[in-house]
């Protein structure tokens, strides 16, 4: 990747918060050697900016095609203060200046741009376990702090496959010998507890509220589950990844024994004690079904799910379950 000096042009700021901090938090450099960039509940400001030196996304590839990608540069996190004078973290995300027009005219594309940055931060090995809130607000500022000129490695216009690297799923004290219950329709192969490192390709869109539980417990007393969907390129193969995000502390070795994951060609059902059942019904066609759930509509292009290829990744400590196919 060529090294160039660029001066980013600020556009808007997306503000989020840290839901779950990384398992190992590196020092926030160069501002401090002791502070951490993503402690729990920390406000995170993402500066969305543009530069003519960043490659544009391909024009001849549809948005929902696996080969479509969104080149970007993401800065190292730095320490700042919010309006109340409390510590906050700032990250610069720089895209091609050709992206700006579509961000201004296409709300879904704007959301995809923001989610691409969040997914990038969460996927970095040094931030393993990081979960950022998908409740995004937009302060009335062009940038949090001044965007200075910088030398960067300009990304390639098209992504290249990189070897898969294993990652730690849970810590030793969070390991459980009792596997959660799972049902795979049209297949006798069980889900596996495994992990896969992946290079983000595009789009992770936050889900709406989960359907109400059918249990006798009043729905208001049950916690709600959300999920996201994105595609990743690993070993020259595109993987579909559904990430179910659980309320903090809900997934334990004990509740794991009573947790069920049911995967069908056009449906994913996840049930966890104390939470509303997450029932994802995937439309037969992304172009015909009503868009009641925008993520399920995105999943339609990956359906029917190949049950033989499904595997699950259970991160007890992080409160995350990933269905990979």
- DSSP for 198-267 reads -EEEE------PPPPP-SSS-GGGSBP-EEEEEEEEETTEEEEEEEEE--TTT--HHHHTT-EEEEETTE
For 323, the token pair is: 């269905």
Per the model's pLDDT, the better-predicted residue between 201 and 309 turns out to be 309
Task: Kindly tell me if the per-residue pLDDT of 29 is higher than 50.
Answer: no
* Residue pLDDT, tens place only, 66-83: 566 788 899 999 999 999
At 146 the pLDDT is 92
At 155 the pLDDT is 67
At 107 the pLDDT is 86
Task: Kindly tell me if the per-residue pLDDT of 93 is higher than 50.
Answer: yes
pTM beyond cutoff 0.85: no
């Amino acid at each position: 990747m060529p090294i160039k000096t660029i001066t980013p042009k600020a556009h808007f700021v997306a503000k989020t918060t840290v839901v779950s901090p990384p398992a190992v938090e590196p020092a926030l450099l160069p501002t401090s050697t002791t502070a951490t960039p993503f402690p729990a509940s920390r406000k995170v400001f993402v500066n969305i900016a543009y530069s003519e030196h960043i490659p544009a996304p391909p024009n001849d590839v549809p948005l929902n095609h696996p080969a479509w990608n969104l080149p970007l540069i993401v800065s190292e996190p730095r320490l700042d203060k919010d309006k109340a004078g409390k510590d906050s973290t700032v990250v610069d995300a720089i895209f091609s200046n050709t992206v700006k027009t579509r961000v201004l005219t296409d709300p879904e594309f704007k959301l995809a741009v923001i989610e691409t940055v969040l997914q990038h931060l969460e996927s970095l090995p040094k931030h393993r376990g990081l979960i950022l809130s998908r409740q995004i607000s937009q302060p009335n500022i062009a940038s949090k702090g001044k965007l200075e000129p910088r030398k960067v490695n300009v990304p390639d216009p098209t992504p290249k496959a990189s070897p898969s690297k294993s990652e730690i799923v849970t810590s030793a004290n969070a390991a459980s010998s009792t596997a959660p219950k799972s049902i795979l329709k049209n297949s006798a192969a069980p889900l596996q507890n495994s992990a896969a490192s992946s290079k983000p390709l595009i789009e992770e869109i936050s889900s709406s509220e989960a359907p109400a539980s059918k249990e006798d417990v009043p729905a208001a007393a049950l916690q709600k589950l959300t999920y996201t969907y994105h595609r990743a390129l690993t070993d020259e193969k595109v993987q579909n990844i559904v990430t179910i995000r659980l309320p903090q502390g809900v997934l334990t070795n004990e509740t794991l024994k009573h947790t069920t994951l049911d995967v069908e060609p056009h449906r994913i059902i996840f049930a966890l004690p104390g939470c509303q059942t997450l029932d994802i019904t995937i439309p037969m066609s992304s172009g015909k079904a009503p868009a009641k759930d925008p993520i399920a509509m995105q999943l339609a292009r990956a359906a029917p799910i190949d049950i033989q290829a499904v595997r699950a990744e259970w991160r007890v400590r992080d409160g995350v379950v990933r269905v990979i196919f």
